[in-house]
Amino acid sequence: MTKSARQFWQGKIVLVTGGSAGFGWFIASAFAKRGAKVFVNGRDETRLNEAVDRIVEEGGDATALPGDVTNANDVTSMFATMIDNAGQLDVLINNAGRSDRGAAMETSVEQFRELLELNFLSLVRCTQTALPNLLKTGGHIVNIGSLGAKTVSPFLGAYPTSKFPVTAYSHQLRLELAPQGIHTLLVCPGPIAVPKASDRYEKLAAEKQLPASAGQPGGGVRLKGIDPVWLADRIVRACEQRTPELIVPRRARWLFAVSTL
């Protein structure tokens, strides 16, 4: 890490939703290592406090921000607490979300609604709440999408449907907010090799009698797991450079172009 990179983030305030575990923790850690003060959001307060303690042990400045991003009152309270504590917001990382498994015709309307609420509408809710403060700092909105926000694999239940709107929303934000000084970054990664990943989707696939590939990361897509430390660093640099979109692996961008044609 260069001295200039750490100077860039010194005194900056970053909020990461869904940061108590998985890839969200790696993003929070990456910003903290560069000198930013990081607010880490999560629903499970015990796991959230453990995640914050790990960042502090690494020498970072992190604060737990408990709350459910699908609950409007929680979101209002979260942002009020953060502003009372830090006085500003420079980066909002909309990371909270989860995947799914199931055949499209066997996924209920309620299941679609639930995942749309978590993967998309909570992102909108947090962005709208954060915007007045981001306008003051000329800050960054980072939306963690997925390759599933660009293309579809079978047997992923409501997941692709809940992620495709993230791409459209990010593009609309970019067009409308860039003239006001706001940077919007859409991140679309393939499967991330997060240590101790849950076997939840493998169990779901077995329970629903889906092909074994459906239980694998990314629904069995043939891609090497992405190093979460490396990807988190890429996101930090993309913010520094105000990059509009980050698709990993890069070759997936060309596959999307061919698919469209």
Pick the catalytic residue from 159, 164, 169, 201: 159
Q: What is the mean pLDDT of residues 83-110?
A: 96
The answer to whether 159 is a known catalytic residue is yes
Average pLDDT on 72-80 reads 98
Question: Looking at residues 155-174, what average pLDDT do you find?
Answer: 96
Give mean pLDDT, residues 221-232. Answer: 87
In this prediction, residue 125 has a pLDDT band, given cuts at 50, 70 and 90, of very high
The mean pLDDT value for 31-49 works out to 97
How far is 139 from 123, CA to CA, in rounded Å? Answer: 16
> Is the distance from CB of 227 to CB of 193 less than 8 angstroms?
yes
User: What residue type is 57 in one-letter code?
Assistant: E
Ranges of H-type helices in 43-141:
45-57, 72-86, 109-116, 122-137
Choose among 12, 28, 31, 13: nearest CA to 236.
31
Confidence of residue 76 (pLDDT cuts 50, 70, 90): very high
The Cα 45–Cα 58 span in angstroms is: 20
> Which residue type sits at 199?
D
Segment 180-206 mean pLDDT? 86
The confidence band for 186, taking pLDDT boundaries of 50, 70 and 90, is: very high
Domains of the chain with bracketed CATH: 3-260 (3.40.50.720)
Instruction: Name the pLDDT band for 2 (thresholds 50, 70, 90).
Output: low
In this model, does residue 217 exceed pLDDT 80?
A: no
**108-124, pLDDT tens digit by residue?**
999 999 999 999 999 99
**DSSP category for residue 111:** H
C-alpha distances in Å from residue 213, one per residue of 67, 69, 216 = 34, 31, 5
